[in-house]
């Protein structure tokens, strides 16, 4: 059986930060909503643990912040130790403590950590980075390339150890947002910035999603990726595997790293290698 990557996004939709462009900012969920998220997560983790004979990588891409919840910390520990799992990674704002990482097989754990300069201080964020490093956790650090954060981005790059990759996500909501010298500046910070600063033409292009990569929600609904909403099946059906087949992208463009890394013509599996999910380039 071929390896499979699952992008999991359960019902969780809350965050301890308050970024003003984000719908989950300081959103609080009820006990019943947390219970529903916990139920869905437990079901998913148990399903992955029960898969024998197929190598699975799991990437948690929550709406909001999951790692401040002990259930997600425990899920990472369980999955990183599961026989069926090759890699487990998660997107996080890095605000949690990291003791839980000691229960993980760190060789199979990866964190995608986003720095939010208006939600935490430079020193506090670097302290989190130091904690992850001292515990031997693999991670990338990144930031949205808002112009008002350029000085903070520069200061972070200067302070980070040189072997820590700092990615910059282009702010694409405003067409032509960056002047030429701003693109140059951000490319000096992140040599792969130009790759993120475009919406890649994807219509009719081969993309690994729907074949070796799938997106799964809390109910088990399978979609090929987070950006194509058509359901393909359900992970908890006995015949779920029948949906896995080579597919072409139906969307005009793909502008998000967690999507376009699977677009075959970009060959980004070669650029990122084993760090594809947590966004750590191997070259």
User: Contact residues for ligand SF4 (CB under 6 A)?
Assistant: 15, 17-19, 22, 24-25, 64-65, 93, 116, 202, 207, 209, 224-225, 227-228, 249, 251, 254, 259-260, 262-263
Nearer to ligand SF4, 108 or 116 (CB): 116
Nearer to ligand SF4, 106 or 226 (CB): 226
Query: In Å, how far are 190, 206, 213, 235 from 247, measured between CA atoms?
Result: 31, 6, 11, 18
Nearer to ligand SF4, 45 or 258 (CB): 258
Closest alpha carbon to 275 in 255, 257, 263: 257
Nearer to ligand SF4, 73 or 209 (CB): 209
| Separation of alpha carbons 187 and 136, rounded Å | 28
Minimum separation from the CB atom of position 254 to ligand SF4 (A): 3
Asked if residue 72 lies in contact with residue 41, where contact means CB atoms within 8 angstroms, the answer is yes
Closest alpha carbon to 4 in 44, 43, 78, 57: 57
Minimum separation from the CB atom of position 49 to ligand SF4 (A): 26
| Separation of alpha carbons 71 and 88, rounded Å | 15
Tokens 């890649």, located at residue: 200
Measure the N-to-C terminal CA separation of the chain; round to a whole number of Å: 28
Minimum separation from the CB atom of position 116 to ligand SF4 (A): 5
Helix locations, the chain, DSSP H: 31-49, 70-81, 122-134, 150-159, 180-189, 193-196, 257-260, 268-272
Nearer to ligand SF4, 108 or 169 (CB): 169
Minimum separation from the CB atom of position 227 to ligand SF4 (A): 4
Minimum separation from the CB atom of position 81 to ligand SF4 (A): 27
């Amino acid at each position: 059986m071929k390896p499979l990557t699952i992008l999991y996004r359960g019902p969780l939709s809350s965050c301890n930060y308050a970024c003003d462009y984000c719908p989950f900012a300081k959103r609080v969920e009820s006990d019943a909503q947390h219970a529903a998220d916990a139920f869905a997560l437990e079901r998913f983790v148990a399903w992955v643990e029960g898969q024998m004979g197929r190598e699975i990588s799991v990437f948690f891409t929550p709406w909001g912040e999951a790692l401040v919840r002990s259930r997600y910390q425990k899920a990472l520990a369980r999955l990183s130790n599961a026989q069926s799992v090759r890699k487990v990674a998660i997107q996080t704002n890095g605000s949690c403590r990291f003791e839980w990482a000691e229960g993980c097989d760190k060789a199979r754990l990866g964190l995608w950590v986003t720095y939010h300069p208006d939600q935490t201080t430079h020193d506090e964020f670097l302290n989190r980075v130091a904690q992850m490093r001292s515990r031997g956790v693999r991670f990338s650090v990144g930031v949205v390339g808002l112009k008002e954060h350029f000085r903070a981005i520069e200061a972070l790059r200067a302070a980070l150890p040189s072997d820590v990759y700092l990615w910059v996500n282009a702010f694409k909501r405003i067409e032509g947002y960056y002047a030429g010298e701003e693109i140059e500046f951000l490319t000096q910070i992140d040599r792969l910035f130009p790759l993120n600063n475009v919406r890649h033409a994807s219509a009719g292009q081969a993309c690994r999603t729907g074949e070796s990569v799938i997106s799964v929600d809390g109910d088990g609904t399978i979609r090929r990726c987070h950006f194509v909403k058509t359901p393909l099946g359900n992970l908890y059906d006995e015949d779920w595997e029948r949906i896995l087949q080579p597919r072409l992208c139906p969307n005009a463009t793909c502008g998000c790293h967690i999507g376009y890394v699977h677009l075959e013509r970009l060959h980004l599996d070669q650029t990122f290698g084993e760090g594809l999910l947590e966004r750590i380039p191997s070259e």
